[in-house]
């Protein structure tokens, strides 16, 4: 869709109050070379103590807008007001001084320093006049801040020993200690387990109660409906919707994001047409991975989608890794009746097994290489290494895979790293379509992908199953499993505790079993 | 459809990584020519190229090693070993052509079986392995030669070192051959693509079924072969095999590759840039030599240019990243349009 066609529908209640909103960004413009990333974007947080979501597809300008607010991106135009006062940020330091703190996705803590040192990073450790920095007093000060957030961490412990969610809390504590009035949380839940997400939300509610406004970015609908009060939707660098969360539902949000209500239904797609066949594609008996998985039995039929549910650490990812041969295991595996020993990715691929790793940037794609090279990588494995690639044939193979997955790219020669997250994920998936596979192992197939792209990937996965591929899908999102899968295997601490049919697998029941209750 | 302006733009984009050194060469050559008439004579240009032949050949191999995310400190030792081997074999009366091939093969074997196996299969650090083989191979060279130089009178040395073919020195033909072969392997084979894939993201390469250890062994064997050939050319140029190992050669080669825009972290760059990097060093060397300035100045200037070239690339990257690095980072690249080689009006953002 072109930006000229898309109509801006801004629902803006009259704001006549004199004091001014906590934050008001107006007409923000930003160009990068020829790309117009922000075209007069607006963002208003009226009151302190609200959780405000910023929603948009990958590439809609969210990053730039947050960057402008956090002082790391210089806008080309527009105004920022805080409490009625005009501000301009030349650097992140300016923004911090005005009480804006950002907790980014890549967690910025120093692992070899203590919790207290991390919380008070940046000249805020408590000093004695003679003895220099006082660890004891610094810890006491950090203790106070952590107590305020309801965290019982030991301020003297090293950050190295913390889980990712705890490290994130340390960053939040740091922001709080700088007396942030606006806290930006950028996809804070993307790598957390459900329990950890609950912990985060508890902290968010405490901050709310203390009058901190929170700007929240997330691709997960669950997050939005649970903790968010109001939302701003960005599309093509413009603000297309500002509304309280209670006026929004999933379909409306996606419609605003992609700007075309008809496309929403198409992306959501129809239900499965065919369902599983009689042929067993993958059969696993007594699979053990030392210390991680015990006695896993499962079968996946051709045309079937089997889900793997479980908390982080339950062995979900490890099961797929073992089946693809990147993690040593013992047990019997058969692919279409043929015995198969998973030991080496290369042999697995030859046996017809494909694997989509959970982290596309670090494991799934060669980001600096072109879309074409990435899409044909698997297809070309059988070729002599000193042979020359045939451009025309490759274009054909890559073109077919790209259109089968609906990859949006300027050209096949574009480096994959230049694509949006959703499109990258489609390429990571599409490379497996260029070969005749039998089984596809998918770990978190829609992680870090916006909702519209997620629905589209779901639809395409169902199409793949209908064409006779066997899919084994591991996901931390239970609604994803419910939507995709015919049957769901539930793991708890490395053991399989249930194998449910789609009809038996309500979200509540799955969550209960995955948590170790029956 | 690809239009002519597209081709120009793509071609221009492709020079992005080695633009600083390309720019410097374009400025330097006419300036030097004006300052000193002798600079642009055929004789001077030929001697300039021939003098850089050893560096050129080694740097071509080094490009692949850097593209794969490594480097090789042992190349000078391998070259010296191949030189001594050549001299000894010729003393035995073995025909020059065969000796030449065998000497290159010595390099291939040492590179592949020592460096390649230890790095590719053994998973040891590149620095440790190539440092260790640099040290021990220097010892081997010393022992085997009894620390003596061997004068080589066989015609093969003269052919390689000083003769012309069709009016152009043989060494330049060899340089051209090595460059074209490297260019072909880099951009027209699956092996070349594997090298980029491994350097860019070894984990992804392995999960995509690429034979990472085997490819690494082949890369270090290729490097060894280039070092062996460089050793042979050096013997031809000097007319003798000398036991002294020139251990600044590997560093100079790495510098030339970096000047040419190949990333030290692997995965991007190529031999085209390396050719310019070597030429830059050669031009500077030649110019300073003509005007009688000491070698030290050349080193100082090369070092500064190296930092400037790499920094300018880094700076551009960071500026482009800035728009996205603190943003909704699920795809930090998607909004930093400058860094992406996609022309803006064809960017995937504009759909």
- CA A456 – CA B56 distance, rounded (Å): 51
- Give contacts of A217 with chain B, Cβ < 8 Å: 328
Pick the residue of A418, A426, A456 with the most B CBs within 10 A to test the interface with B by mutation. Answer: A418
**Domains of chain B, each with CATH number or no CATH:** 16-318 (1.10.3470)
Cα–Cα distance measured from residue B205 to residue B213, given in angstroms and rounded to the nearest whole number? 11
Chain B residues lying within 8 Å of A70, measured CB to CB: 326
B341 pLDDT exceeds 80?
A: no
- Does residue B170 belong to the interface with chain A, where contact is any CB pair within 8 Å? no
Cα–Cα distance measured from residue A150 to residue A153, given in angstroms and rounded to the nearest whole number: 9
The predicted pLDDT at position A268 comes to 59
Q: What is the pLDDT of residue A254?
A: 81
> Above 90 in pLDDT, residue B12?
no
What is the model's pTM? 0.76
Burial A387-411 (b: 16+ CB within 10 A, else e): eebeeeebbebbeebbebbbbbbbe
CB of B121 within 8 Å of any CB in chain A?
no
**Residue of chain B minimizing CA distance to A55:** B328
pLDDT digits (tens, 9 = 90+) for B304-335: 877 877 777 676 555 544 433 333 333 333 33
Q: Do A67 and B340 touch (CB under 8 A)?
A: no
Would an 8 Å CB–CB cutoff place A392 in contact with chain B? no
What is chain A's alpha carbon radius of gyration, rounded to the nearest angstrom?
Answer: 25
Question: For residues B309 and B306, what is the distance between their CA atoms, to the nearest angstrom?
Answer: 5
Residues in chain A with CB shorter than 8 Å from the CB of B190 are 380, 383-389
String of DSSP letters for B141-202: HHHHHTT--EE--SHHHHHHHT-EETTEEHHHHHHHHHHHHHHHHHHHSHHHHHHHHHHH-H
Assess B323–A contact: CB distance below 8 Å, yes or no.
yes
Mutate one of B67, B334, B345 to test the A interface: name it (highest A CB count within 10 A).
B334
Question: Do the strands A23-32 and A35-45 form a parallel or antiparallel pair, or are they unpaired?
Answer: antiparallel
Q: Is the pLDDT of residue B242 over 60?
A: yes
125-144 in B: which are within 8 Å (CB) of A?
A: none
Q: In the beta sheet, which residues pair with residue A243?
A: A231
Calculate mean pLDDT across residues B108-124: 94
Which residues, in sequence order, are bridge partners of residue A158?
A114
Q: Nearest CB to A32: which of B191, B204, B335?
A: B335
The alpha carbon of residue A296 is apart from the nearest alpha carbon of chain B, in Å, by 23
- Taking residue A437's Cβ as centre, other Cβ atoms within 10 Å add up to 18
| Predicted pLDDT of residue A5 | 39
Residue B175 clears pLDDT 50, i.e. is over it: yes
Helix (H, G, I), strand (E, B) or coil at A36: strand
Count of C-beta atoms within a 10 Å radius of residue B215? 19
Chain B from 175 to 214: CB within 8 A of any A CB: 185, 188-191, 193-194, 196-197, 200-201, 203-211
Over chain A (518 residues), what is each successive 10-residue block's mean pLDDT? 41 47 90 81 90 85 88 89 87 86 76 86 72 80 84 86 82 83 84 77 88 87 85 89 87 79 58 71 90 89 90 85 91 90 90 89 85 88 83 87 84 84 87 86 87 84 88 87 87 86 78 74
The residue to which tokens 């080193």 are assigned: B299
CA–CA dist A449, A360 (Å, integer) = 11
CA-CA distance, A57 to A451, in Å (whole number)?
Answer: 8
Q: CA separation (Å) from A202 to A178, A206, A281, A512, B165? A: 20, 6, 44, 20, 81
Task: Give the C-alpha separation, A326 to A356, whole Å.
Answer: 12
Q: Which residues contact A48 (CB under 8 A, 6 or more apart)?
A: A22, A181, A211, A212, A213
- Nearest Cβ partner for B328 among A35, A66, A386: A66
- Determine the topology of domain A280-383+415-514 in CATH: Rossmann fold (3.40.50)
The residue that leads in pLDDT, A364 or B102, is B102
The answer to whether B115 and B128 are in contact (CB under 8 A) is: no
Q: Which of A54, A219, A418 sits opposite B342 (nearest CB)?
A: A418
Separation CA B303–CA B248 (nearest Å): 13
Confidence of residue B216 (pLDDT cuts 50, 70, 90): very high
Residue A158 DSSP symbol: B
Q: Where in chain A is the domain with CATH 3.40.50.300?
A: 280-383+415-514
CB neighbours of A235 closer than 8 A, spacing ≥ 6? A6, A56, A57, A60, A256, A257, A258, A259
Residue A326's φ and ψ, nearest 5 degrees, are: -100, 0
pLDDT of residue B197: 93
A 306-345 → B contacts, CB under 8 A:
324, 326, 345
Q: How far apart are CA B223 and CA B57, in angstroms?
A: 9
In this complex, which of A58, A368, A411 lies closest to B331 when CB atoms are compared?
A58
Q: Minimal CA–CA distance to A420: which of A106, A2, A35?
A: A35
Contacts of A342 (CB under 8 A, 6+ apart): A322, A323, A324, A325, A329, A333, A348, A353
Give the Cα separation of A509 and A362 in Å (integer): 34
> Taking the CB of residue B147, how many other CB atoms lie within 10 A of it?
11
3-state helix, strand, coil in chain A (%, to 5): 35, 25, 40
Nearest to A313 by CA among A289, A287, A288, A292: A292
Contact B206 A364 (CB under 8 A): no
B13, B194, B205, B207, best to mutate vs chain A, most A CBs in 10 Å = B207
Query: A107 contacts in B (CB within 8 Å)?
Result: none
Query: What are the residue ranges of helices labelled H in A280-340?
Result: 316-324
Give how far Cα A274 sits from Cα of A42, A80, A277, Å.
46, 54, 8
Candidate from A59, A380, A389 with C-beta closest to B334? A59
- Cβ atoms of A238 and A40 within 8 Å: the answer is yes
DSSP bridge partners of A354: A440
The tokens for A283 are: 């059969």
Show the beta-strand stretches assigned E in chain B: 150-151, 164-165, 168-169, 240-241
Paired tokens of B340: 């992406």
Band of residue B293 on the pLDDT scale cut at 50, 70, 90: confident
Instruction: Tokens for B81, please give them.
Output: 């070993």
ipTM of model: 0.76
CA distance A162 to A158: 8
DSSP A384: -
End-to-end CA distance of chain B: 17
- Collect all residues with Cβ–Cβ distance below 8 Å to A455 and sequence separation of at least 6: A254, A267, A268, A269
Q: Mean pLDDT for chain B?
A: 82
The predicted structure's pLDDT at residue A514: 78
Q: Pick the residue from chain B with its C-alpha nearest to A37.
A: B335
Q: Report chain A residues whose CB lies below 8 A from the CB of B218.
A: 385
A window 438-477, beta carbon within 8 A of B: 448-450
Could you give the dihedral angle defined by the CA atoms of residues A450, B351, A465 and A372, in that order, rounded to the nearest 10 degrees?
Answer: -110
d(CA A446, CA A423): 11
- The pLDDT of residue B4 is 67
Name the residue among B174, B343, B193, B211 with its Cα closest to residue B270. Answer: B193
Alpha carbon of A406: minimum distance to chain B alpha carbons (Å): 13
CB A219 within 8 A of CB A202: no
- Whether A283 contacts A333, CB under 8 Å: yes
Coil, helix or strand at residue B45:
helix
Contact B326 A421 (CB under 8 A): no
pLDDT of residue A107: 66
Give the mutation candidate from A31, A52, A56, A59 for the B interface (greatest B CB count, under 10 A): A59
């Amino acid at each position: 869709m072109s930006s000229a066609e898309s109509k801006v529908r801004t629902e803006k209640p009259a704001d006549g109050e004199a004091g001014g909103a906590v934050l008001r960004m107006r007409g923000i413009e930003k160009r990068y070379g020829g790309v117009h990333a922000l075209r007069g974007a607006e963002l208003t947080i009226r009151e302190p103590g609200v959780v405000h979501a910023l929603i948009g597809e990958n590439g809609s300008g969210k990053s730039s807008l947050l960057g402008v607010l956090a002082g790391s991106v210089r806008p080309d135009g527009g105004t920022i007001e805080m409490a009625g006062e005009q501000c301009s940020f030349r650097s992140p330091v300016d923004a911090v001084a005005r009480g804006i703190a950002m907790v980014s996705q890549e967690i910025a803590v120093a692992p070899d320093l203590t919790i207290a040192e991390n919380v008070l990073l940046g000249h805020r450790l408590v000093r004695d006049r003679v003895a220099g920095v006082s660890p004891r007093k610094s810890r006491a000060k950090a203790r106070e801040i952590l107590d305020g957030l309801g965290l019982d961490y030991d301020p003297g412990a090293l950050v190295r020993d913390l889980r990712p969610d705890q490290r994130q809390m340390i960053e939040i504590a740091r922001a709080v200690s700088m007396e942030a009035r606006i806290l930006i949380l950028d996809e804070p839940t993307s790598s957390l387990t459900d329990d950890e997400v609950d912990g985060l939300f508890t902290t968010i509610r405490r901050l709310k109660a203390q009058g901190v406004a929170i700007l929240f970015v997330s691709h997960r609908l669950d997050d939005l409906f649970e903790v968010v009060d109001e939302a701003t939707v960005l599309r093509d660098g413009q603000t297309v919707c500002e509304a309280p969360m209670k006026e929004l539902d999933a379909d409306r949000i996606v419609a605003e994001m992609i700007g075309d209500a008809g496309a929403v239904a198409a992306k959501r797609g129809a239900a499965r047409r065919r369902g599983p066949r009689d042929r067993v594609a993958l059969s696993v008996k007594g699979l053990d991975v030392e210390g991680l998985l015990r006695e896993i039995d499962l079968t996946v039929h051709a045309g079937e989608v089997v889900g793997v549910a479980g908390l982080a650490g339950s062995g979900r990812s490890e099961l797929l890794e073992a089946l693809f041969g990147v993690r040593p295991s013992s047990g019997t595996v058969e692919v279409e009746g043929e015995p198969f020993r998973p030991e080496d990715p290369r042999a697995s691929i030859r046996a017809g097994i494909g694997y989509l790793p959970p982290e596309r940037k670090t494991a799934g794609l060669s980001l600096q290489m072109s879309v074409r090279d990435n899409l044909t990588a698997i297809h070309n494995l059988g070729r002599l290494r000193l042979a020359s690639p045939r451009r025309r044939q490759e274009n054909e193979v890559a073109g077919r895979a790209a259109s089968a997955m609906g990859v949006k790219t300027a050209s096949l020669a574009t480096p994959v790293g230049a694509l949006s997250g959703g499109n990258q994920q489609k390429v990571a998936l599409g490379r497996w379509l260029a070969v005749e596979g039998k089984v596809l192992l998918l770990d978190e197939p829609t992680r870090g992908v916006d909702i519209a792209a997620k629905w589209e990937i779901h639809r395409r996965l169902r199409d793949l199953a209908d064409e006779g591929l066997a899919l084994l899908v591991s996901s931390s999102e239970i609604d994803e499993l419910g939507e995709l899968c015919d049957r769901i295997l539930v793991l708890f601490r490395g053991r399989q505790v249930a194998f449910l049919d789609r009809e038996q697998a309500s979200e509540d029941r799955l969550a209960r079993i995955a948590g170790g209750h029956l | 459809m690809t239009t002519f302006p597209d081709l120009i733009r793509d071609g221009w984009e492709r020079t992005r990584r080695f633009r600083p050194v390309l720019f410097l060469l374009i400025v330097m050559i006419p300036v030097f020519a004006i300052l000193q008439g002798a600079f642009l004579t055929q004789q001077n240009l030929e001697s300039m190229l021939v003098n850089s032949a050893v560096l050129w050949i080694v740097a071509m191999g080094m490009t692949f090693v850097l593209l794969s995310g490594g480097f090789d400190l042992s190349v000078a030792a391998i070259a010296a070993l191949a030189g001594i081997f050549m001299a000894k074999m010729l003393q035995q009366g073995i025909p020059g052509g065969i000796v030449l091939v065998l000497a290159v093969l010595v390099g291939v074997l040492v590179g592949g079986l020592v460096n390649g196996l230890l790095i590719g299969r053994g998973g040891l650090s590149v620095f440790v392995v190539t440092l260790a083989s640099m040290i021990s191979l220097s010892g081997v060279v010393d022992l085997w030669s009894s620390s003596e130089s061997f004068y080589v009178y066989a015609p093969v040395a003269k052919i390689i070192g000083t003769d012309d073919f069709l009016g152009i020195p043989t060494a330049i033909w060899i340089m051209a051959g090595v460059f074209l072969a490297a260019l072909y392997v880099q951009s027209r084979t699956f092996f070349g693509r594997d090298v980029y894939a491994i350097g860019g993201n070894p984990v992804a390469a392995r999960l995509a079924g690429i034979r990472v250890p085997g490819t690494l062994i082949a890369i270090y064997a290729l490097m060894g072969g280039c070092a062996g050939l460089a050793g042979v050319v050096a013997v031809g140029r000097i007319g003798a095999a000398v036991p002294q190992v020139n251990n600044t050669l590997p560093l100079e080669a790495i510098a030339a590759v970096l000047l040419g825009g190949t990333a030290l972290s692997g995965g991007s760059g190529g031999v085209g840039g390396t050719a310019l990097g070597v030429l830059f060093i050669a031009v500077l060397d030649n110019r300073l030599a003509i005007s009688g300035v000491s070698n030290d100045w050349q080193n100082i200037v090369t070092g500064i240019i190296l930092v400037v070239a790499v920094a300018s690339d880094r700076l551009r990257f960071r500026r482009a990243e800035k728009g996205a690095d603190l943003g909704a980072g699920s795809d930090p690249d998607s909004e930093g349009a400058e860094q992406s080689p996609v022309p803006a009006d064809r960017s995937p953002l504009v759909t």
